[in-house]
Amino acid sequence: MSENTVPTLAQIIDVLDEVYPRRLAESWDSVGLVCGDPAEPVARALVCVDVTDRVVGRAIADGAGLILAHHPLLLRGVDSVAADTPKGRIIHRLIRAGIALFTAHTNADSARPGVSDALAAEFGLLDTVPLSPQPLRPMDKWVVMVPEGSSDQVSEAMFAAGAGAIGEYRDCSWSVVGVGQFEPQAAANPAIGTIGKRERVDEARVEMVAERGLRRKVLAALRAAHPYEEPAFDILELAGTDSDLGLGRVGHLPHPMTAGEFVALAQRKLNGPWGVRATGDPATMITTVAVCGGAGDSLLGAAKAAGADLYLTGDLRHHPADEAMRGGGPVLVDAGHWATEFPWCAYAAELLHERAGIVAEVFAQPTDPFAIHCGPGQ
């Protein structure tokens, strides 16, 4: 977008949907546009973890036209957003001020770069991969036999139907020339050859992949473009493989450190409002670290399976943590839900500035609901 052009909310949503695809959201989640007119221009945005009254007040004071939040305001079903309800009050304030609200939650958790990438970057983790990877979409491999002079027209038709896409590459295929053989029968209408006579033809064997969901569309395109009455082709279902998307990240530190040193570093880096707690021996040496922004005790087993020496997340519960320790799991570090997700806000603000061309600020005051803290002996 031009730096002098104020984008519409719809254009900004297109950017957010590209970086944080909604298909990555968990089935129980609620992501996307909560309120706002997609046709309205948006010049400023405010990025936050939680949508609170203080956040809305800041957005109004700054003249923001959009709040990008990580946590959904309306995660569970509601039957009223009346102004005298806690969440309805916020919705009414947003609408009156002309401020849109957009949520990127578990789709931002699984995206790359996403919430856990921002957390991993705080500690300089190297060679990170998902802790719980999402599988690639189911794929087919197509093998089509085409008369040599017609291979381009068949390939182009299949490409137009969506075949031949591999990651960020399009129109991918492989071919080799061989000899095809057939004998048209009495009811056939051959494009090449004679009824009752065996025919040998120079043919290209064309191979490409396509998402399994496109099978019917690709087959229709193949048949329409192929010169043969009965094209010869194979459809092979490929084995599932993991993608580079998914929850959590695991990587290694630039330099080993003790668990005690890591915990101190976590407090300095994340500045969680109620501190950091951890399990195990502070002298334990740490090289491989797993992280997950937010509530991550569902990935305790994945952290152990990944060979992590230490697992950093938030909202660890007593019993799952105790069981993980008894099972010989990694050192567990709980830095809090808000603190482990907050680093994403700066990533998202930079995204809005660079990709959408708008001013984007971060609401840096903690919105962690646990605001009163008392340490031992206090």
pLDDT 10s digits, 301-347: 999 999 999 999 999 999 999 999 999 989 999 999 999 999 999 99
CA distance 201 to 190: 13
Express each pLDDT in 23-62 by its tens digit. Answer: 999 999 999 999 999 999 999 999 999 999 999 999 999 9
pLDDT, greater one: 250 or 329: 250
pLDDT digits (tens, 9 = 90+) for 2-13: 556 899 999 999
* 190-204, 222-236, 342-356: segment of lowest average pLDDT: 190-204
pLDDT band at 99 (very low <50, low <70, confident <90, very high): very high
What are 159-186's pLDDT values in tens digits? 999 999 998 899 999 999 999 999 999 9
Domain 9-109+343-362 listed as CATH 3.30.950.10: no
CATH class of 139-237: alpha beta
What fold does the segment set 112-133+245-337 form as a domain?
3.40.1390
Mean pLDDT across the chain: 95
Give helix 9-19 / helix 343-351 axis angle, nearest 10°. Answer: 120
**284-304: pLDDT as tens digits:** 999 999 999 999 999 999 999
Quick one: tokens of 207? 């191979």
In our burial notation (b when 16+ CB lie closer than 10 A, e otherwise), range 12-45 reads bbebbbebbbeebbeeebbbbbbbbeeeeebebb
- Residues with Cβ within 8 Å of 287's Cβ and at least 6 positions away in sequence, in order, are 252, 253, 256, 309
Mean of pLDDT values over 267-274 = 91
The pLDDT, as a whole number, for residue 309 is 98
Give pLDDT, residue 1.
Answer: 57
pLDDT above 90 (res 255): yes
Q: What is the secondary structure of 212-247 as a DSSP string?
A: GGGHHHHHHHHHHH-SSSS-EEEEEEPPP-EEEEEE
136 pLDDT band, cuts 50/70/90, is: confident
> What's the mean pLDDT in 193-217?
95
Please state the pTM of the whole predicted model.
Answer: 0.84
DSSP 114-125: -HHHHHHHHTT-
pLDDT tens track for 229-240: 999 999 999 998
Per-residue pLDDT at 267: 95
Q: What pLDDT, on the 0 to 100 scale, is given for residue 256?
A: 97
Please tell me the predicted confidence (pLDDT) of residue 4.
67
What is the mean pLDDT of the segment spanning 352-356?
A: 96
Q: Do the two domains 9-109+343-362 and 112-133+245-337 of this chain adopt the same fold?
A: yes
> For position 29, what pLDDT does the model report?
95
- What is the distance of C-alpha 372 from the center of its chain? 34
What are the residue ranges spanned by the domains of the chain? 9-109+343-362, 112-133+245-337, 139-237
The DSSP call for residue 126 is E
In the prediction, which pLDDT does 78 show? 83
**Residues forming beta bridges with residue 332, ordered by sequence position:** 311
